[in-house]
Amino acid sequence: MDTKNIFVILVVWIGISSFWGCGKCEGDEFGIRMKLIVPINTFPAQDTFFIGDTLWIEANIDKYVEVENHTGKIFLEGFDFFTEMGISEISATVENFTPRIEFIEQLGQVEQLPLVTAVSYPLTFIEEDNTYNLKIGIVLLEQGRYYLSFSTQPLLYERYEHPAVYLCEDMRRESVKVIYTNSTTNLESYEDIFLETAVNYLFEFMDYPRYESVGAHSFIVKE
């Protein structure tokens, strides 16, 4: 084999190696579908409140964030979790997305976003050197059965620009999702309060694993 042919073979081999090396994204351990595990807690951790009481929402999220099914953590700086809070009164057969509540903003911000069939409350964390922080109070002004949860719309990451949404170079992950954990979430309030709702579609699609993944807190407000 002459020198010219050897050179051509080497060029082709290097090109193929580079292509497959990039396709594998060697060095990225979190895969094409990544699920972030984000702690956000509500307190006091109780299932009964009275009109005028305040339920607090607090987050102290380390920038090294857990990823589902991975021992390692991903470092997220300048990252937007696109966190939305939902709170509704669920005593009747239809959710009341606008119960009488007031907010206390001690750290971070909460906004109200009217949707076609609901109301969402986007939350803005304060980014510090090592953490993302939030402390918002909800003053409960109306009696009833309540369901509070946290979520992130995965579609928001499809065009979001941040190194974490890429496997390598210009190859984006197929999906990025956020799972919320809440130390107050428990099976007892799920069964005794949430499942007692008259809003049938809620317990038809919200089994306990799903309920747990949105950091849910169900509670009763009395006079």
For residues 138 and 53, the answer to whether their CB atoms sit within 8 Å is no
Residue whose token pair is 């060029």? 11
The predicted pLDDT at position 25 comes to 57
- CA-based torsion, 158, 162, 165, 167: positive or negative: positive
pLDDT digits (tens, 9 = 90+) for 155-190: 999 999 999 999 987 899 999 999 999 999 999 999
Q: What HEC string does 80-105 produce?
A: CCCCEEEEEECCCCCCECCCCEEEEE
**CA atoms of 199 and 125, how far apart (whole Å):** 32
Task: Using pLDDT thresholds of 50, 70 and 90, give the confidence band for residue 107.
Answer: very high
Task: Using pLDDT thresholds of 50, 70 and 90, give the confidence band for residue 23.
Answer: very low
What is the overall mean pLDDT for the chain? 90
For residues 199 and 208, the answer to whether their CB atoms sit within 8 Å is no
- C-alpha dihedral (61, 180, 146, 121), degrees to nearest 10: 70
The predicted pLDDT at position 27 comes to 56
pLDDT digits (tens, 9 = 90+) for 109-156: 999 999 888 899 999 999 999 999 999 999 999 999 999 999 999 999
Mean pLDDT of all residues in 23-40? 83
- C-alpha dihedral (208, 209, 215, 221), degrees to nearest 10: 0
Q: Does residue 14 carry a pLDDT above 70?
A: no
Backbone phi and psi for residue 138, each to the nearest 5 degrees, phi listed first: -115, 115
The predicted pLDDT at position 20 comes to 40
Task: Using pLDDT thresholds of 50, 70 and 90, give the confidence band for residue 1.
Answer: low
Mean pLDDT of all residues in 77-93? 96
Higher-pLDDT residue of 11, 104: 104
For residues 114 and 24, the answer to whether their CB atoms sit within 8 Å is no
